[in-house]
Amino acid sequence: MELSRRPRRLRSTAAMRGLVAEHSVRPEQLVLPLFVAEGLREPRPISSMPGVVQHSMDSLAAAVADAAEAGLGGVMLFGIPETKDAVGSGALAEDGILNLGLRRARDEVGDDLLIMSDVCLDEFTDHGHCGVLTDSGLVDNDATVELYAQMAVMHAEFGAHVVAPSGMMDGQVGAMRSALDTAGRLDTAILAYGAKYASAFYGPFREAVDSSLQGDRKTYQQDPANLTEALREVALDVAEGADLIMVKPALGFLDVIRAVREVVDVPVAAYNVSGEYAMIEAAAANGWLERERAIDETLTSIRRAGAQIILTYWALEYARR
């Protein structure tokens, strides 16, 4: 055989493979989601997400410090109140768990790590939906957007560098940008969930935030069958002032990540969600796959698809090794 082209030459050693690798995952591209729960004195394990916990205020501070030391790009905070009501009033309380968590995190690391906040009402409502409801039980888009705008300003005041509206309400980004600018928070960035799908892979997350969801979110989260709709949503968010765009989930929507990357001129993030985390952890616990290799392939696939930023529960572990 006379072969002038032998691609295997570029796979011959670990050093060679590293030299020609087309994509890499760096700690500064990773964001660690963190849950802080009201009333806890010690971290509380989340059974469906081995290794992930609901934090107390003290353990949250320690986790944020660890994230900064490991060189992560940021942390995303979710708050879990002790009591909920129909309008999610705990989300706008001065002493609400998420606001206090943001302040504690920012006090811990200053500007050494980006502090990001989830702007949504689902953790704070007794019905578990991402907004307030009409008398007929539907999510009231415009009334909810007004609350999101107030939340965004409050989160910025309590220390968030980045606010992330995840509720998929029409007009949420524009309303938040206007409110932030009016409040003088011109430097607070918006990470918009431009393409968030009504996915089966959020199950463990609902345990993590003690969700009380009744029904489903299919009237506001997107249909997994649709790509063009996602691009339309993304375009609207960018036009309204989004600084970064999120695709969620990641693994089942790698094609969406790629399509979004090709049409926007802002950084693209992807959320490696709880169900994606849990299924690899469960398979590894049963000896069905090599855990670290599976993690590496998962994160690399999301980067290869076009995400510059990855939210993942493996962020700290990956950065450390």
What residues are annotated to the active site? 196, 248
CA dist 57 and 171 (Å) reads 33
CA dist 308 and 26 (Å) reads 10
Beta partners for 32?
75
- Long-range contact pairs involving 209-214 (C-beta distance under 8 Å, separation at least 24): 209/35, 209/78, 209/80, 209/122, 209/123, 210/37, 210/80, 210/123, 211/122, 211/123, 211/128, 212/84, 212/125, 212/126, 212/127, 212/128, 213/122, 213/127, 213/128, 213/129, 214/127, 214/128, 214/129
Query: Exposure string (b/e) for 251-274, b if CB count within 10 Å is 16 or more?
Result: bebbebbebbbeebebbbbbbbbb
* Angle between helix 228-240 and helix 254-263 axes, rounded to 10 deg: 40
Q: Which residues contact 260 (CB under 8 A, 6 or more apart)?
A: 194, 195, 230, 231, 234, 245, 247, 268, 306
